[in-house]
Homo-oligomer: A and B are copies of this chain.
Amino acid sequence: MEISRVAKKSGVSASTLRFYEEKGLIKSIGRQGIRRVFSSNVLERLELIALGRAAGFSLEEISGILGTDAKPDIDRDLLLKKANELDETVKKLEAMRDGLQHAAACTAPSHLECPRFRRLMNLAAAGVIEGVAANKTIK
């Protein structure tokens, strides 16, 4: 596949594809003249990358998880660690979601004054500030 075809199929722009290749996140299978040629399984790889991005991982973390080459042995401990991080994040997001939903329905004059909202937020916020930093640190 040519780069434009990959771009269309994946929704990832050609410039981003070149950027990802430069970063080692994807690989072209070769060249036809000067032009890159991709195999179709780059699409799957791109989905995984998008998934990782959506999950809040940096490109560097993603390359750590997926492996930069066709590296078959992935660090299982790292994966579990990442899974646990995700689980933590999910809990926070759920609390946040509940908080937002309540805030939308609540008739208290200010959300910051609504006890239910505050309880939800406090639950969610417990350790969040450190958590944000911590999640970034566990590389």
* A contact set with B: CB distance below 8 Å: 10-12, 41, 44-48, 50-56, 65, 70, 72, 74, 76-77, 79-80, 82-83, 86-87, 89-90, 92-97, 99-101, 103-105, 109-112, 118, 121-122, 124-125, 128-133
Contact = CB atoms under 8 A, between A and B. Distances in A.
A130 B46 CA distance: 12
Given A10-B129, A11-B130, A46-B129, A96 B100 contact: no
A110 B72 CA distance: 5
Q: In the assembly, how many copies of this chain are there?
A: 2
Secondary structure of the A contact surface, majority rule: helix
A128 B56 CA distance: 12
A53 B132 contact: yes
A76 B45 CA distance: 38
A121 B83 contact: no
B100 A86 contact: yes
Nearest to A84: B97
Contacts of A51: 92, 95-96, 99, 121, 124-125, 128
A134 B125 CA distance: 26
7 contacts: A45-B112, A47-B129, A54-B89, A83-B97, A86-B93, A86-B100, A93-B93
